[in-house]
Amino acid sequence: MKDNKSKYYAKISLGIMGGGFLATFPFQDSIAGQVLQGGFEAGLVGGLADWFAVTALFRHPLGLPIPHTALLPKNRNRMLKAIINMLENDWLTKESIQNKIKDMNISAKAVEELEQRLDSSSFHKGVQSLVIHLLNEIDPEKLSPVLEKELKGYLQSVEIEPVLDKMVNEVLKRELDEKALDYVLVETEKWLRKEDTKNKIGTLAKQLLDNTKADGFMKMAIQSFSQMINAEKLGNMLQPFFLKRIVLLQEANNPYRKAVLDKIHSEIKNVKERRELIAELGEWKNTIVEEWNPTDQLSSILVKTKEKFIKLAEDEDWINRHIITILKNQIQALKEDSSRMMKIEGWIQNQLSLMVEKYHAKIGQLVKENLEKLDNETLINIIENNVGKDLQWIRVNGAICGFLIGIVLTSFKMVV
């Protein structure tokens, strides 16, 4: 609107000078008529000259290919290079941008801005939407193979010896060896008290006697004893014998029990010295881990966990109690820890400086690409719309100044 108004004033001023020049022809015999005609004539010449000069910047006046006109279209490339050079080397140099960044306490401003928004409901809803979006983006089917690979890698890297050492210490600390022995003795006692067990013991004992090989008197004694006794009698004899020994082994002060436990303790303590066993356990562990395929289980766990957290995140109170509270605590901790804030600010400044160093040339390239997208007419219109209105006032000023100078010169000529 202002640009059109300035063009309108420029045309009016030129029209006034031309009309005044023509209107003063009948009054050339008078002094006032001569003076006014000289002023209007000079104003018309000045206005036309300035119109030609202003128009010649952007296009050919009256469409005529007059030399040294349409300066901007002809010098488009030079103008673009000058603009880019001015931006890169004068206005937006790397040093000026980096110095400006150094003057900005970005971390403090970010913390302050975030703290001001923490209690707003819109911020809470934004955080809630972000959390739900991030949870929905989790794909259990893609994530479970990754977790499986990491889990297997960790398990295969675990050394058997330290684990075995901890297990031995726990066994001895909790007296699990003694508890295991008691369990075996109790279960053995239960088994021995069964009628079926008594029959099996008698049968096995009878087979042992019948199959025992001996010479001389020993052979005759065994054969005689075998003929005198049957499997049932042997079972009746041996079952109480074995039961009595098992019961005695369950007594805390029994010497045989103590001997058995001492042997077990000795074997447990020396297990980490048995290198072949450790190596075999390692191979066994790696084989189990390699054959283990927990992808489906992990995927199921991830699906359930994802669904659970999505339901929790849909509750705004849960977001406030947990996510917002965590953010508040972290912000407060940052504000109280000046050294940490300085480290964060230094890291931000360093990253931004590296980005400026790396992408500074992109500024000129971006400006060049955007300007090159514009054709000559569009580019001229943009320039005219931004600075053309001031150029139009040159035409107005030229006409007025020419009019005043014409009056002075005509008056001077008449006086002289």
Is 97 among the domain residues? Answer: no
Q: How far is Cα 283 from Cα 70, in angstroms, rounded to an integer?
A: 86
Q: Please name the helix (run of DSSP H) or strand (run of DSSP E) that holds residue 203, with its range, or none.
A: helix 195-211
Task: Considering only the C-alpha atoms of the chain, give the largest distance between any 2 of them, rounded to a whole number of Å.
Answer: 180
213 and 325 fall within a common domain: no
% the chain with pLDDT above 70: 77
Is 361 among the domain residues? Answer: no
pLDDT beyond 80 at 5? no
Q: How far is Cα 13 from Cα 405, in angstroms, rounded to an integer?
A: 15
Q: How far is Cα 323 from Cα 314, in angstroms, rounded to an integer?
A: 12
183 and 270 fall within a common domain: yes
CB 376 within 8 A of CB 76: yes
| Mean pLDDT score, 7-13 | 70
296 to 136, 140, 144, 145, 290: CA distances (angstroms): 19, 10, 8, 9, 16
Is 363 among the domain residues? Answer: no
Residue ending a domain, among 355, 384, 402, is 355
Q: How far is Cα 290 from Cα 149, in angstroms, rounded to an integer?
A: 10
pLDDT beyond 50 at 2? no
Q: How far is Cα 51 from Cα 73, in angstroms, rounded to an integer?
A: 18
Residue ending a domain, among 236, 266, 289, is 289
224 and 260 fall within a common domain: yes
Report the mean per-residue pLDDT for the chain: 79
Find which of 47-51, 113-117, 130-134, 275-279 is predicted with most confidence, using mean pLDDT. Answer: 130-134
Task: Name the nearest CA neighbour of 76 among 364, 371, 410.
Answer: 371
pLDDT beyond 70 at 77? yes
208-255, pLDDT tens digit by residue? 777 766 566 666 676 666 666 778 887 888 888 888 988 888 888 888
Q: How far is Cα 94 from Cα 369, in angstroms, rounded to an integer?
A: 20
Backbone angles phi, psi at 296, to 5 degrees: -65, -45
Domain count, the chain: 3
Phi-psi sector, 216: left (phi>0), alpha (psi -120 to 50), beta? left
pTM equals 0.47
304 and 284 fall within a common domain: no
273 and 225 fall within a common domain: yes
276 and 305 fall within a common domain: no
CB 176 within 8 A of CB 209: no
Q: How far is Cα 251 from Cα 258, in angstroms, rounded to an integer?
A: 10
115 and 169 fall within a common domain: no
Is 93 among the domain residues? Answer: no
Q: What does the block give as tokens for 109?
A: 């401003």
**Amino acid present at 73:** P
346 and 241 fall within a common domain: no
Residue ending a domain, among 261, 289, 317, is 289
Is 215 among the domain residues? Answer: yes
Is 226 among the domain residues? Answer: yes
260 and 173 fall within a common domain: yes
At how many degrees (to 10) do helices 2-23 and 389-415 cross?
20
| Mean pLDDT score, 283-307 | 90
Is 94 among the domain residues? Answer: no
Q: How many other CB atoms are there within 10 angstroms of residue 166's CB atom?
A: 10
Task: Name the nearest CA neighbour of 361 among 97, 78, 102.
Answer: 97
178 and 221 fall within a common domain: yes
Task: Name the nearest CA neighbour of 115 among 312, 374, 379, 328.
Answer: 328
33-62, pLDDT tens digit by residue? 777 777 777 777 777 776 666 666 666 666
What is the SS3 string spanning 317-374? HHHHHHHHHHHHHHHHHHHHCHHHHHHHHHHHHHHHHHHHHHHHHHHHHHHHHHHHCC
pLDDT beyond 50 at 194? yes
326 and 392 fall within a common domain: no
Is 250 among the domain residues? Answer: yes
331 and 386 fall within a common domain: no
Residue 9's domain spans which residues? Answer: 2-74+374-415
**132 in helix, strand or coil?**
helix
